[in-house]
Amino acid sequence: MTIRNPLVLVALAAAIFAALGIGIWAPGDPMTKLKVTTGYTALILIFVLGVAVLLEIASGRMDLSQLLSEIGGGASMSRFQLLIFTFVIGLSFFLIVAETGKFPAVPAEVLTLLGISASTYAVSKGITASARTDSSKAPPPSAPSAPPSAAPKGEARGDGSANP
């Protein structure tokens, strides 16, 4: 395994130094030290890895151009609405946590909304995929029809069944 982004190494080094520093020099009993050390280490790791992902996206190495694209081309409405709902619920959750400092309760209606949105995306993907399967099984219109015995054994036929 190779680590291409130097920020990952920086994150690991910073997390180790923070853990050592707090563990040795921070005041308090061992349990408090452990809590603070774990908190700072997790924060440093998650933050630097998140920044690394953002930099990869910004530089274009992590390609988002197909984020909303359908398989056959064009933008996908089901992907777009899932993106909107995810951002709105995520932003709402974050705003409340930032304001109150506590984890808010999530009502069943919000989960239902997210479920509806994600199910629409999944069903839409299924419809598109099944349409592609049908079109790839259909014979080309200009090709002459071959006799049934000429089909190789086990190959799928145009009607969806398989040769015995």
Angle formed by the axes of helices 30-59 and 6-25, nearest 10°: 160
User: Minimum Å distance from CB 156 to another protein?
Assistant: 15
* CA nearest neighbour of 106 among 117, 96, 119, 116: 96
59 binds another protein (CB under 8 A): no
Smaller CB separation from another protein, 130 or 163: 130
How many CB atoms within 10 Å of residue 86? Answer: 13
User: Minimum Å distance from CB 164 to another protein?
Assistant: 21
Which residues face 69 on adjacent strands?
75
Give the DSSP letter of residue 107: -
143 binds another protein (CB under 8 A): no
41 binds another protein (CB under 8 A): no
Contact indicator for 15, 43 with CB cutoff of 8 Å:
no
117 binds another protein (CB under 8 A): yes
Written as one letter, the residue type at 133 is T
Contact indicator for 6, 47 with CB cutoff of 8 Å:
no
39 binds another protein (CB under 8 A): yes
Interaction site with another protein (CB under 8 A): 35-36, 39-40, 43, 46-47, 50-51, 54, 57-58, 64-65, 67-70, 73-75, 77-78, 80-81, 83-85, 87-102, 104-107, 109-110, 112-113, 116-117, 119-120, 123-124, 127-128, 130-131, 134, 159
